[in-house]
Amino acid sequence: MSDAYSDKVMDHFKNPRNVGVIENADGYGKVGNPTCGDIMEMYIKVEDNKIADAKFRTFGCGAAIATSSMATELIKGKSIEDALTLTNKSVVEALSGLPPIKVHCSVLAEDAIKSAIDDYLKKRDGKGIEGWSPRNHEH
C-alpha cells in the first residue's frame, strides 16, 4: 500500500480490530465483489438491542480489510437502529479517506454490516430490514 492511504487506513490494515468469528452469532452476513475478488463476512452478537460484539473475516485487499475493521469499530456498542445508519461514507470519513478506486470496499463493509443485521432481524422478528437488499457489487 502506498502514500495514497491515510495513516488510519494503514493502521487498520496492519492492525485490524475485531478479526475472527463469533460462534453462535446472532447475525451473519456475507457479501462479495466477483470482479475484484473481495469477500467480507460479518458476525454480530446482540444484547439488549445493542451490538455487544462484531467480528469480521475479509478476503481482499488492504482497503477491504481496513474498511471491515473500521466498520466493526463504528457499530460496537450501538443500538441496532443506530448501526443501521452506518454508511460507506461514514466508514471512509472515519478512515480519513480512501482513494476513489477503493471506495467500493467501504460499500462492501456497509452491506456486510447490514446483511448481518438483516439476518439477526429475520431470526428475531421473522422479517429483515424493510426495503433493503444487498447491492450488486460488480464494478
Contact criterion met (CB below 8 Å) for 135 and 46: no
How far CA 82 is from CA of 54, 71, 76, 113, 117, in Å, comes to 14, 13, 10, 12, 11
Tens digits of per-residue pLDDT, 106-116?
999 999 999 99
Residue 69 has, within 13 A of its CA and on its CB side, a CA count of 20
Give catalytic status of residue 61 as yes or no: no
Q: Which residue has the cell 457489487?
A: 137
CA nearest to 73, candidates 28, 123, 65, 100:
65
Q: Work out the end-to-end distance of the chain between its first and last CA atoms, rounded to an integer number of angstroms.
A: 21
Q: Examine the pLDDT at 138 and tell me if it is beyond 80.
A: no
Domains of the chain with bracketed CATH: 7-123 (3.90.1010.10)
How many degrees, rounded to 5, is the angle at CA 23 between CA 17 and CA 24?
125
Q: 40, 71, 105, 113: which one is catalytic?
A: 105
Q: Among the options 9, 25, 31, 36, which is catalytic?
A: 36
Whether the CB-CB separation of 134 and 115 falls below 8 Å is answered with yes
> Minimal CA–CA distance to 30: which of 1, 66, 61, 59?
59
Q: Render pLDDT for 65-110 as a digit per residue (tens, 0 to 9).
A: 999 999 999 999 999 999 999 999 999 999 999 999 999 999 999 9
Range 22-29 average pLDDT:
97
pTM here is 0.92
pLDDT band at 2 (very low <50, low <70, confident <90, very high): low
Query: Which has the closest alpha carbon to 113: 137, 80, 66?
Result: 80
